Amino acid sequence: MTKKHPVNEKSKQEQLEQFKTDDRNQALTTNQGLKLSEDEFSLKAGERGPTLMEDFHFREKMTHFDHERIPERIVHARGFAAHGEFELYDSLSEYTKAKFLQNPSVKTPVFVRFSTVAGSKGSAETVRDARGFATKFYTEEGNYDLVGNNIPVFFIQDAIKFPDLIHAVKPEPHNEMPQAASAHDTFWDFVANNQESAHMVMWSMSDRAIPRSLRMMEGFGVHTFRLVNAEGKAHFVKFHWKPVLGTHSLVWDEAQTISGKDPDFHRRDLWESIENGDYPEYELGIQIIDEEDEFKFDFDILDPTKLWPEEDIPVKLVGKMTLNRNVDNVFAETEQVAFHPGHVVPGIDFSNDPLLQGRLFSYTDTQLIRLGGPNFHELPINRPVCPFHNNQRDGYGRQTINKGPVSYHRNSLAANTPAPVPESEGGYAHYQEKVEGRKVRSRSESFKDHFSQPTLFWNSMSDTEKEHIISAFSFELGKVKSKSVQQQVVDMFANVSTVLAKQVAQAIGATPPSGKDAPVTKSSPALSQEQTIKKPNTRKVAVIVANDFSSDLPQVLNSLKQQGIQPEIVSTTLQNVKGTDGSELEVQHTFLTSDSVLFDAVYVVGSASADEKFRKEALTFAQEAFEHFKPIGATDEGVKWLKAASLDSSPGVVTGETTRFTDEFIEAISAHRHWNRHVI
C-alpha cells in the first residue's frame, strides 16, 4: 500500500501550523527567495528617467497585487469564521455509524463560517437577511460539512429555481440597488409569483433575520438527511444547532443604525468574544423520523419549505460545539474554505429533497470558478485530517507531488492501488433506497400546501413578535414601487393571516383583504424567541461616567463582571476618569466613537461636576436604549437626569434609589428587552 500522506497524520491545528509564516524580523525577499536591497523605488534610467522593464521586483510585486482578489461567493459573500471543536454527549450508534458520532471522548476539530446571503463581500452585517451557518467537521473518516442556515426552511422547493430567486433578491441589474436588502420590487415580485416562498418569507420578516449576535442564533441543516447505522438501518434526520446563550435579535431601528455605526458588528462581536475567552457554544440537535413513518405527517418530509414541529418530533441534543480560536488570516481560511453538502462520511446520507439534490451539484461547480481550479481541496483549510489518495492529477495550483508513473484504475503496475475499500472496512456505500418512477418535470401534490406552516409560524409568535413582522412587511413593501406587486403580496399573505395582511395593506395603501382568520388550532412555542434561554453573560453595558464619580461605582462594576456582564466605560475623552476617592477608571469609548446601539444596556452614572453637554450626550444614550427596550440603570447624578427626562419609571429602568440596585439591574439585563415599556 502507498504510504500515509505526511501532512494528514497531524491534527488539523498542527496541519495548519506548517503553512503559517511570521514575516516579522525576516529579510525582505522576492517569491524566489532573492534578498532585496530596496523596496520603495522602481528601477529607473536616471533619477528622473523612465522605469525599466528589467525591474523584476516591481513586476512581481505589482502582478501579485493585481491578482489579489478572487471572485466573491455568488451568495453568502459576506462571511466570518472561527475554529473550534465538537464533542458528543452519548454514542449515536443506534442511528449512525459515522465515527465522529460514536465516542464521546473524541474531540472533532471544526471550522464554522457564518454569513449573510444577499449582500456583497463589503456589505453591512446587521441587514435583514438569512444567515449562513456552515460547519466543517474534520473527522478521521474525511470532512463532513453541515452547510446550514439560521432559518429552518427555504424559499423554494426545487434547486432549478435558485438562480431566479437569487437574481430577484440581489441588487436590480439596471442600477445595482439596493445593496444587501430584500426591500425592492424584484424580490417581492418573485415572492408573489412563487408562493412556495411564503414560509421562509415569514421567517425573514421576523426577528430571526436580524440576530443580535452570531453567538445567539440557531442553525438548521434545513433538508431532511439520512442517518444509517452499522446494520444498514436508516432514519430520516433534521439537524439543529442550539446556541447555549439562547436565540436573540436586534430591533430593526437598531439594526439599521448599527449598519452605519459599525458595519462589522457581528464579526467584531464573534472575534472579541473568542479573544476574551467567552467561547461561543452551540448544542447539536437531531430530530429523527423512522423510515416507516415517512408518510405519517400532514406535510411531505422531503419538502424544504416545511419544518418538523419540535413539539411533535422532539429535538434530541447530542453534542456541543465550542468555537475557541480565531483565524490567523481571513483570506487563507475564511475566504478559501470550500463547503459542500456532498462532503459526507459513512453513516450520513441524503434524501430526495429536490433542493438538496441540486445543491449536491452546485457547490463543486462554484468552487471551481471561485478558487480557480480542481485542486481547492489541497488548500490548508480544506484538507482533511485523514489521508487522501486517488488517481486525480495536475490542474491549476496542484500542490501534491504524486510519485510514480501509475495514475489510473485498474492497474497491475501498482498492484491495483489506490484501491477501493469494502463498506465493512469504512468505504462509503450509498444507502440503497428503492426508487422508481417516470421521468417528469413536475411538483409532487404533497408539495403544494404553501400556507399551513407559515400560519403555524404566525400563530406561534408573541404579540411583540407579530408587531415586528407587520412592521418588517410594511417597511419592505413600502420600498416597493409597483402597486401591483404590493397588492399581490398583500393578497398572498392574507392566506397566512388576514390580521397581518390588513395591517400591512393599511401601512402601504393597498386594498385590505376581506374575511377573518380561522380559529387557531395549533401553535409551536419552540418557534417563538420569547421562549428562549435568557442569560446576562456577555451582555455589553455602556457605563457613562464623568470625573468625580462616586466611590461605590467600582464595586457595582465588579458585581456586573461576576455575572459575566461586560461593562465598558464611555465618557467625553479617552482620559482616565477619576472618582471622588481618587480611584481611576480607564475609558474605552467616547461619545464620538460609540453609540447606544452598540450596547445591550446603558448605565448612567455621570457626576455632579459633569457639564450640560455631558448630560445631553448621556441622555441621548439612555433615550435610544429606552426606545430599543433595553435595560437602563442609573445611580448618582444619573438618577436626576433620567427623572428630568421622564425616563425613570418604566419597566427595565432601574435607579440607584433602590437599595438592591445592583441585583435589580442584573435582573433587568438578564431579561434583555422590556417589551412592556411604553414607547411612543
Known catalytic residues? 76, 149
Choose which of 187, 241, 339, 376 interacts with ligand HDE (CB under 6 A): 339
Ordered alpha helix ranges (H), 49-157: 56-66
When asked if residue 362 is in the footprint of ligand HDE (CB under 6 A), the reply is yes
Dihedral over alpha carbons 49, 52, 55, 60 (to 10 degrees)? 110
Number of residues interacting with ligand HDE: please give it, by CB under 6 A: 25
CA 170 to CA 491: how far, in whole Å?
24
**Burial bucket for residue 392 (CB in 10 Å: 0-12, 13-18, 19+):** middle
Residue with cell 445593496: 179
| Euclidean distance between CA atoms 430 and 25, whole angstroms | 53
Please report whether residue 57 would count as binding ligand HDE according to CB under 6 A.
Answer: no
**Stretch near ligand HDE under the rule CB under 6 A, chosen from 294-302, 362-370, 391-399, 407-415:** 362-370
Cβ 222 to ligand HDE shortest distance, Å: 4
Output 57 or 223, the one with its CB closest to ligand HDE.
223
148 contributes a contact to ligand HDE by CB under 6 A: yes
Least distance (Å) between residue 364 CB and ligand HDE: 8
Tell which positions 58-97 bind ligand HDE, by CB under 6 A: 73-76, 79
| Counts for the chain of helices (H) and strands (E), in that order | 16, 18
User: Is residue 162 close enough to count as binding ligand HDE by CB under 6 A?
Assistant: yes
**Of residues 381 and 619, the one with the C-beta less far from ligand HDE:** 381
In whole angstroms, how close is the CB of 260 to ligand HDE at the nearest point? 25
**Biggest alpha carbon–alpha carbon distance for the chain:** 90
Q: Exactly one of 147, 205, 577, 647 binds ligand HDE (CB under 6 A); which one?
A: 147
Q: Single out the residue of 92, 274, 348, 355 in contact with ligand HDE (rule: CB under 6 A).
A: 355
C-alpha cell at 42: 522602481
Return the residue of 57, 99, 113, 535 that touches ligand HDE, per CB under 6 A. 113
Is position 159 an interface residue for ligand HDE (rule: CB under 6 A)? yes
Question: Least separation, in Å, of the C-beta of 196 and ligand HDE?
Answer: 13
Judged by CB under 6 A, the stretch of 141-149, 211-219, 462-470, 641-649 that binds ligand HDE is 141-149
CB atoms within 10 A of CB 376: 20
Total residues found in the chain within this entry: 680
Residue 192 contacts ligand HDE per CB under 6 A:
no
- Residue 246 C-beta: closest distance to ligand HDE, Å: 22
Q: Whole-number minimum distance, CB 238 to ligand HDE, in Å?
A: 11
**Residue 495 found at the interface with ligand HDE (CB under 6 A):** no
Which CB contacts under 8 angstroms, 24+ apart, belong to 467-470?
Answer: 468/206, 468/207, 468/251, 468/252, 469/202, 469/205, 469/206, 469/500, 470/500, 470/503, 470/504, 470/507
Report DSSP state, residue 523: -
115 touches ligand HDE by CB under 6 A: yes
Q: Does 154 bind ligand HDE (CB under 6 A)?
A: yes
What is d(CA 395, CA 669) in angstroms, rounded to the nearest whole number? 56
Q: Which residues pair with 134 in a beta bridge?
A: 113, 147
- CA atoms in the 13 A half-sphere facing the CB of 492: 24
Tell me which residues touch ligand HDE (CB under 6 A): 73-76, 79, 113, 115, 132, 134, 147-149, 154, 159, 162, 222, 337, 339, 355, 358-359, 362-363, 366-367
